[in-house]
Amino acid sequence: MSDEHFRKLERMYHGAPINQFYRPVLEVGDGTAELTIPVRPEFFHAAAAVHGSVYFKALDDAAFFAVNSLVPDVFVLTVSFNLYLTRPISEGVMRARASVVHRSRQLFLADAELFDERERQIARGSGSFMRSQIALTPEVGYA
């Protein structure tokens, strides 16, 4: 795949309305993606740490874009995702790193890890993804 494809995926991601709330930064490579999200109190549950839904978003988004980096014409879809929360976080930055570990004509598998600023793993996950029929076009922000 090309750097142009990777940059278009990044622009599409950053333009999604949900990301105005989370303020993530995504970098896409060939079969890889890295995502950072600054920790904010708005993400906290009652025990003053980041809610698991934010962990999921970071890991799924990174894995999704690692896979979509290998698919130049359509969105991929998350079919399933396993998540393991290993450590709480309440400050700093969350950094998710993902890579594609298997690909076939219809199925892609990606692994992702989530780290705190001290490079301690705070979560890990793996997902399965498939091609959709939604074209990557300027109308969906792929530009």
pLDDT tens-digit series, residues 57-101 = 999 999 999 999 999 999 999 999 999 999 999 999 999 999 999
What mean pLDDT do residues 137-143 have? 94
3-state secondary structure 65-123: HHHHCCCCCEEEEEEEEEEEECCCCCCCEEEEEEEEEEECCCCEEEEEEEECCCCCEEE
Contacts of 36 (CB under 8 A, 6+ apart): 24, 25, 93, 94, 95, 96
Contacts for 99-102 with beta carbons within 8 Å, 24 or more apart?
Answer: 99/31, 99/32, 99/66, 100/31, 100/32, 100/66, 100/67, 100/69, 100/70, 101/126
pLDDT in tens, 101-126: 999 988 999 999 999 999 999 999 99
Residue 111's nearest CA partner among 68, 89, 82, 75 is 82
Residue 55's nearest CA partner among 117, 108, 125, 129 is 125
pLDDT in tens, 5-39: 999 999 999 999 999 999 999 999 999 999 999 99
Statement: the pTM of the whole predicted model exceeds 0.85: yes
Statement: residue 1 has pLDDT above 80: no
What pLDDT score does 52 carry?
96
> Could you give the domains of the chain?
3-140 (3.10.129.10)
With residue 10 as reference, give the H or E element that holds it. helix 3-14
